[in-house]
Structure 1
Amino acid sequence: MTQVFPVKILGIGTAEPRRIVTNDELEALCGLSEGWIWRKNGVRERRWIEEGETNSSLGAAASLQALDDAGLQWEDIDLIVNASGTSEQFIPDGAPLIQRELGLGTSGIPCMSIHTTCLSFLFAMQVCTGLLETGLYQRILVVTAEISSVGMNFQQPQSSTLFGDAATAVIFGQTPEGESSVIEAMRFETYGEGAPHTEVRGGGCRRHPNDERTTPEDNLFHMDGPAVLGMAAQYAGPFLERLRPGLTQGLGDVDIVVPHQASKVALQVLEHFHWPASQIMKTLETRGNCIAASIPLTLIESIRDGKLKRGQRCLAVGTGAGLSLGGVMFVY
């Protein structure tokens, strides 16, 4: 999609659990040698929830920050989108729970959820762009609240030590006349042959909790890292060229790249496209892979650190279970 859309980020917010989990703790838990996690995953620490912290509580805290940052009131928000790969419960979806946590349970503000695992935020950007373009909505709150720590399979240490918990909130609106904020390009592709490589097999009709054949392991996260990386490497180059010709040969006028913080190796792969390491934003070392929150968390940190300023161009890109690839290029 190459049409330019006048969409602007109006406000940003983050919320993270209080508990910091170090590699020492996890290496002892998993029986790993000292330094194994850093060498394999490129993570030194991550945040995991404590008792009382939930998707909706973290999402609501991030939302309050974003509302304050935008200088808006709740009556200015006309849609709440939960863009997350994990959920507090199966029904209802997470958006009404966030609305209620915010004290807006009688407000009538419409709510919906978008779940495409690690690409949920980017897919939400595309959906919200279309909704703003129609004029149906003026200001949309997108909340990404991820809790991975409760579903880790510690028999698979390379994946279980990779993930962290976090929440973000971003308010999108139409760009005022005379300002430069636009979304320039969006593209998503899915290759379902990769579905078995990243799974939580339980939780649905195929392996229902009441089915005697369902095992506890069916409710844990399973990932075949080499298979996922192999598929991503196979499709990434052609995908980037379809998103914007020339991206595999350098960044051109792109100021920064905000990639999904998938893993140490996945981030290194991006440099094969002649993208300078200094322009690739990273939070993996201190946050781990926060599923769909990774991209907005890294984006918000880049804005707060002054690495992305108004009028500068950003490429947000990543992969998700499926296997899906997604990218959005925009002027902040």
Structure 2
Amino acid sequence: MKPIYSRIIATGGYLPERVLSNHDLAQMVETSDAWIFARTGIRTRRIVAADEKTVDLAEAAARQALADAGLGAEDLDLIVVATTTPDQIFPSTACLLQARLGNHGAPAFDIQAVCTGFIYALATADRFIRCGGTRRALVVGAESMSRIIDWTDRGTCILFGDGAGAVILGASDEPGVISTHIHADGAYADQLQVPDGETRMTMQGNAVFRMAVRTLGEMVQETLAANALDSADIDWLVPHQANIRIIQATADKLGLSMERVVTTVQHHGNTSAASVPLALDDAARRGCFQPGQRLLLEAFGGGFTWGSALLRWS
């Protein structure tokens, strides 16, 4: 019996209409466009409207992916949504999305791994397909981060934005998703969290930055070693869009020029679990990837969580 693999057959993305620029933030906290850009690489980010929900973002991204794949909701065997900002405690955002799309009966559930959420969700869906029985899976990262931001704290409010990205995985005879690698260490929980009983994020910025740079560098080496590859074998890096300096440090570890790194942080900010699929969709629509090229996706988030996925584009 031939092994079953998964591959990405379509992508989708959605950003809210409202644009919040660095100049806008300078009217809210003591900062400036130059200060923010020099430290983060961010110029603008998108913010949900007052009546816009996380499931709304997820639905828009999912519908775009379905349309690109030429599929209907009834063709999905699995729905996994990565989010840190659900609209309600339960039902899950995945179940709410399932109802919106009109799918009935497929398993649907959320994954919460903050900024690494999409990588966790992709790894989960990939395993469902490899085990057989699941032919097509919708994987979404959707976040309304603006709702958990302390808008008086310039250390965090300048970083985050809202949005959603989606992919559809299909069963394949050839590997599209080559390997996934996910990790966590809860010993660092207090460095990036929404404390118990509160609704606003706190972050120890310098400590998180150092840990992210070190851990993502190790993640790159783990992924290469697991597949007997060298850094020269990677065609594109699709990183979590947290901070341009973290992205550049990871690219340096791979020996990749920034021309081979997908960057949307300047326009999107850090959209947490949505950032990797949004970046993937953005680059795919610009025609950056060629069939057969190897893509390395990676992310680091609160928990701490971190992970990577090595893909062959098709």
- The match for 1:115 is 112
| Matching residue within 129, 133, 137 for 2:130 | 133
TM-score by length of 2: 0.92
Equivalence for 1:210: none
- Supply the distance in 1 between the matched residues of 2:19 and 2:152 (Cα, whole angstroms): 21
2:227 matches 1:228: no
Q: After superposition, give the CA deviation of every residue in 1:286-314 in whole Å (9 maximum; x if it has no partner).
A: 11011011001111111111111222110
- Does residue 64 (structure 1) correspond to residue 67 (structure 2)? The answer is no
Residue 324 in 1 paired to residue 279 in 2? no
State the SS of the aligned residue for 2:231.
coil
Query: In the alignment, what sits opposite 1:79?
Result: 78
Contiguous gaps of at least 5 residues in structure 1: 208-217
Are positions 1:182 and 2:163 aligned together?
A: no
Is 1:306 the counterpart of 2:303? The answer is no
Confirm or deny: 8 A CA contact 1:250 1:275 kept in the other structure.
no
Give me the whole-angstrom Cα distance separating, in 1, the residues matched to 2:212 and 2:16.
30
Show the 5 A alignment for 1:87-106. Answer: 87-104=86-103
SS in structure 1 at match of 2:26: helix
Displacement of 1:12 in angstroms is: 1.4
- Post-superposition CA distance 1:143-168 (Å, at most 9, x none): 22110111111232121111110011
1:272–1:167 Cα change, 3 Å: same
In 2: Cα distance, 1:141 partner to 1:164 partner: 23
Q: What fraction of aligned residue pairs are identical, expressed as a percent?
A: 32
Q: 1:268 aligns with which of 243, 248, 251?
A: 248
SS of 1:35's equivalent in the other structure is helix
Residue from 233, 241, 254 that aligns with 2:221: 241
Greater shift, 84-93 or 27-36, is seen at 27-36
CA contact (8 A) 1:194 1:228 kept: no
Distance change (3 Å), C-alpha of 1:269 and 1:130: same
* Equivalent position of 2:190 in the other structure: 196
Residues 224 and 230 in structure 2, CA contact (< 8 A), matched pair in contact too: no
Deviations along 1:220-251, whole A, 9 cap, x unmatched?
Answer: 0111111111222333333322221399x972
- Give, as a single letter, the amino acid of the residue that structure 2 aligns with 1:53: E
- Evaluate the alpha carbon distance shift between residue 109 and residue 187 of structure 1 in structure 2; reply closer, same or farther with a 3 A threshold: closer
Structural mapping, 1:155-174, within 5 Å: 155-174=152-171
Determine the C-alpha separation between the residues in 1 that align with 2:216 and 2:166: 28
After TM superposition, list the pairs within 5 Å mapping 1:8-23 onto structure 2.
Answer: 8-23=7-22
The answer to whether the Cα contact below 8 Å between 2:23 and 2:32 also exists between their aligned partners in 1 is: no
- The size of the alignment, in residue pairs, is 309
User: Does structure 2 conserve the Cα–Cα contact (< 8 Å) formed by 1:83 and 1:115?
Assistant: yes
Amino acid at match of 2:246: A
Aligned 8 A contact 1:181 1:310 in 2 = no
**In the alignment, which of 246, 252, 261 is matched to residue 232 of structure 2?**
252
Which has the larger Rg? 1
Q: Write the letter of the residue equivalent to 1:15.
A: Y
Amino acid at match of 1:96: C
Asked if the contact 1:5–1:183 (Cα under 8 Å) also holds between the matched residues in 2, the reply is no
Q: CA deviation at 1:188?
A: 1.7
Deviation of the 1:18 alpha carbon: 0.9
Looking at structure 1, the residues matched to 210 and 199 of structure 2 have their Cα atoms a distance apart, in angstroms, of 25
Measure, in 2, the Cα distance between the counterparts of 1:236 and 1:60: 30
Letter in 2 for 1:41: T
AA aligned to 2:202 is: H
CA shift at 1:5, angstroms? Answer: 6.2
How far off its partner does 1:34 sit? Answer: 4.8
Distance in 2 between residues matched to 1:239 and 1:267, nearest whole Å: 13
Alpha-carbon distance in structure 2 between the residues aligned to 1:229 and 1:91 = 33
Equivalents in 2 of 1:113, 1:305: separation in Å? 29
- Give the Cα–Cα distance (whole angstroms) in 2 for the partners of residues 304 and 181 of structure 1: 22
Matched residue, 1:48: 47
Structure 1 residue corresponding to 2:266, chosen from 268, 285, 310: 285
Cα distance in 2 between the residues matched to 1:156 and 1:51: 21
TM-score by length of 1: 0.87
Q: Answer whether contact 2:159 2:269 (CA < 8 A) is retained.
A: yes
**For the aligned residues, what is the CA RMSD?**
2.0
Distance in 2 separating the partners of 1:134 and 1:9: 17
Residue of structure 1 in register with 2:25 after alignment: 26
Amino acid at match of 2:84: G
CA contact (8 A) 1:185 1:244 kept: no
